Amino acid sequence: MKDPFKGMMGIKILKDEPLSKHTSFHIGGDAKFFIRVCSIKALKKVLQIAMKNKMRYFVIGSGTNLLVSDKGFPDVVIKLNGIFTKIKRERDLFCCGGGVLIDRLLMKAGRLAYGGAEFLAGIPGTVGGGIKGNAGAFGRSFAEIVDKITIINHRIMEQDLYNNDIGFAYRSSKLKNGTIIISAKIRFTRGRQKDIMAIIKRNLKYRRQRQPAGYSAGSFFKNPLPYSAGKLIEECGLKGLRVGDAEVSMKHANFIINRGKARTSDVIKLAKRIQKIVRNKKGILLKQEVKTLS
């Protein structure tokens, strides 16, 4: 297939790009087209061309909650750069592009003495991905602090959605597949810089102490409230369980670690084995939190 994006302004194209280079799992095959997009105009054009050529598209953030097929993705993977990584403050609202890293937003707000979102410290990924999946920690989530978002919908039109329109739920929202968050307004509260930065530092330390090092996609299963997925897996004696080079972490049982040469098929087999054992022993079916791309 010829490159239908050739000659376009505001983008950078990589063909047959290994997605293992763009995910925290360090697993996955190639993307036919990996496109870095720097403006809204360019993004809309890319989407129009993709749809015209009957190609699927997927927007990748930091690749921190993602498992890519060993066969890769035969269509278009989009990375939001340029305007989508800008941050500006409007009183208590921080306006940021969907491609802004969560930690970068927190640190910028903290240095300006704005807090209220310190619970997000150490959560990897971008603001867009975090909102779509309603990421959170310590019993709190994005649902509490998002004022408004702007999306590109399935008709390739810009649309504003306020908090109540997003349909936030536990680790999810009602935003459909194909919806792209291009910007968001996050509400912070004025405080003392010293206190805010101290809380961020404390939360980062807590996460480092509890979470394993190595290649992973973070918490693999959703917590079946009021239970903890990690505790259920640990109680079933599954720490250290391994398929190929994919292993249940000895430090935190809800993490599957790529020991270096794991394949997606290894991770999937291991995840299914965990689900089967936990269901048989605990009567609870664990649901996958990590998104898959194939």
Give catalytic residue positions: 171, 219, 289
- What is the CA angle 119-121-124, rounded to 5? 120
Calpha distance 110→87 (Å, rounded) = 13
> What percent of the chain is helix, strand and coil (3-state, nearest 5)?
30, 30, 40
Calpha distance 4→259 (Å, rounded) = 38
Asked if 63 and 22 touch (Cβ cutoff 8 Å), the reply is yes
Asked if 51 and 96 touch (Cβ cutoff 8 Å), the reply is no
Specify the residue for token string 């994005």. Answer: 142
Calpha distance 168→154 (Å, rounded) = 19
Asked if 146 and 184 touch (Cβ cutoff 8 Å), the reply is yes
Asked if 180 and 59 touch (Cβ cutoff 8 Å), the reply is yes
Calpha distance 69→74 (Å, rounded) = 11
